[in-house]
Amino acid sequence: MKPNRSNLSVPGHVKKMHSKALNCEADVIMLDLEDSVPANKKHEARRIVIQSLRDLNWGSKTVTVRINAPDTPFAHKEIIEIVENAGERLDAIVVPKINHPGDVHFISRLLDGVEMGCHFKKKINIEASIETAKGLEAVSKIAKASSRIKTLVFGVADYSDSIGARLVSLSGHGENEEKIYPGHRWHYPLSKIVATAKANDLLAIDAPFGSFKDMEGLKRSAALASALGCDGKWVIHPDQIEIVNEIFTPSPKEIERAQLIQDTVKKAGNTGRGAVAIDGKMMDQATLRLAKKILDQAAHLKLV
């Protein structure tokens, strides 16, 4: 799969932002029809998104469209119109507020029909957004509901709403979080999503960080997500892309250390030892597997 470190959300009705997104370094561009588009612009946004998908030169960029939730009057029309008119240039449909595997079956069947009608050779993937208490409860069944699902993403703002959390941190996981709740307030849902994604060979992606002027807050939020096993993070402003890409890319120091661990543990194995010390730290076969993961990621990004 192509890298998925940063996923830029771009309001579907704001055409000039589409051209701006084209020239940025985000791994994924998501043209949004949901919460960045007001209700009276949904139709126009759909038309503009189709135009952009057809007319702009996206090159090898991964491009997705976030539709409205399955239980709205928009979702079915958006899939039919967007896939019929511009499906060839679409990598995935992002589906918000998935509550139940039935939501995935509905989207997947609709895609089957439209793709067959258009004689598409490739299948469009689904990115499932888990952002309700119901969705989190059913996440394991949702992850298995269709082979089109390649990614699970956490939606922090709607999740807060669905569990009835107080309106204290408006921007995602930044503002005031540590004052309200020492520790990582979203540790449980994010970890549950990560474990489910990994058990099903999917990517796990973190929610965006809404305080787009607070670069230190963004770094911290992305580093926490990376430490919890996420593969990437949504961003809502072009200025956030560089930091998020950096956090989800193995650093030269990490790569060097992983190489040292790999060489040393393998060499120790040849002399009959499974565990060995490097700088006063125990390294064994489990550490070797971790090191190998870093080297695989680095190879995937063509860094080694």
Q: Using CB under 6 A, list all residues that contact ligand COA.
A: 8-11, 16-17, 20-21, 32, 35-36, 208, 212, 236-238
SS3 24: coil
Residue 237 touches which member of Mg ion, ligand COA, none, C-beta under 5-8 Å by kind: ligand COA
**Widest CA span of the chain, in angstroms?**
70
Of residues 217 and 238, the one with the C-beta less far from ligand COA: 238
Closest CA to 135 of 171, 187, 99: 99
Window of 115-123, 131-139, 146-154, 227-235 that interacts with Mg ion by CB under 5 A? 131-139
Question: Does the protein bind Mg ion through residue 158 (CB under 5 A)?
Answer: yes
Residue 158 touches which member of ligand COA, Mg ion, none, C-beta under 5-8 Å by kind: Mg ion
Q: Is 256 exposed, middle or buried (0-12, 13-18, 19+ CB in 10 A)?
A: exposed
Task: Provide the β-strand partners of residue 94.
Answer: 66, 127
Of residues 91 and 158, the one with the C-beta less far from Mg ion: 158
- Asked if residue 205 lies in contact with residue 231, where contact means CB atoms within 8 angstroms, the answer is yes
Cα 253 to Cα 287: distance, rounded to the nearest angstrom: 16
- Tell the smallest beta-carbon distance from residue 51 to Mg ion (Å): 25
Of residues 6 and 99, the one with the C-beta less far from ligand COA: 6
Cα 38 to Cα 13: distance, rounded to the nearest angstrom: 9
- Tell the smallest beta-carbon distance from residue 159 to ligand COA (Å): 12
- Tell the smallest beta-carbon distance from residue 16 to ligand COA (Å): 6
Of residues 16 and 281, the one with the C-beta less far from ligand COA: 16
Pick left, alpha or beta for residue 163 (phi over 0 → left; psi -120 to 50 → alpha; otherwise beta).
Answer: alpha
Of residues 206 and 231, the one with the C-beta less far from ligand COA: 206
Residue 208 touches which member of Mg ion, ligand COA, none, C-beta under 5-8 Å by kind: ligand COA
Of residues 21 and 288, the one with the C-beta less far from ligand COA: 21
Closest CA to 4 of 63, 49, 58: 63
**Could you tell me the two tokens for 53?**
């998908």
- List of residues contacting Mg ion (CB under 5 A): 131, 155, 158
